[in-house]
Amino acid sequence: MHHRFHVFSPLWNGQAGDGSMGTVPEREVLGIPFAKNAHPMWIFDRETLAFLDINEAAVKQYGFSRQEFLSMTLRDIRPLEDLPELLRQTQHPRPQGQSTAEEWRHVTKDGTMFRVTITSWELTFRERRAELVLARRENPE
């Protein structure tokens, strides 16, 4: 069974992707600790790929400030050679519900590339079709 989730935020007062989101991340999303989760987490707009919210672990691990993240898209944390696959996978709706164990390569602000395993959930966030993502960094071999 698949569920469609709706999340409403009293902290938000801007337009999706304009970088004017609240200055603090949501405490919890879909019942999952978000702001203080030990793993990087974010919510992105499924149409524009813009970051809509970002947690503290993502800011620490990726090296971008919260404000920088909120003015970026998923394209900005991917190696250039991975962009065609990212765009292919995000341009079509996917089944509702949780998606697990997708592996991607991400890039930090200083250019360090690393592998992550992604768990994600589709939801409606701030009246936008969005996706909540939890990224677990894989240990280097």
pLDDT digits (tens, 9 = 90+) for 99-133: 666 789 999 999 999 999 999 998 999 999 999 99
pTM recorded for the entire structure:
0.78
Domain covering 34-137: architecture: 2-Layer Sandwich (3.30)
pLDDT confidence bin for 140, thresholds 50/70/90: low
pLDDT digits (tens, 9 = 90+) for 1-36: 333 443 434 333 333 344 445 678 889 898 888 999
What pLDDT shows up at residue 99?
66
The pLDDT of residue 43 is above 60? yes
3-state SS of 76-130 is HHCCHHHHHHHHHHHCCCCCCCEEEEEEEEEECCCCCEEEEEEEEEEEEECCEEE
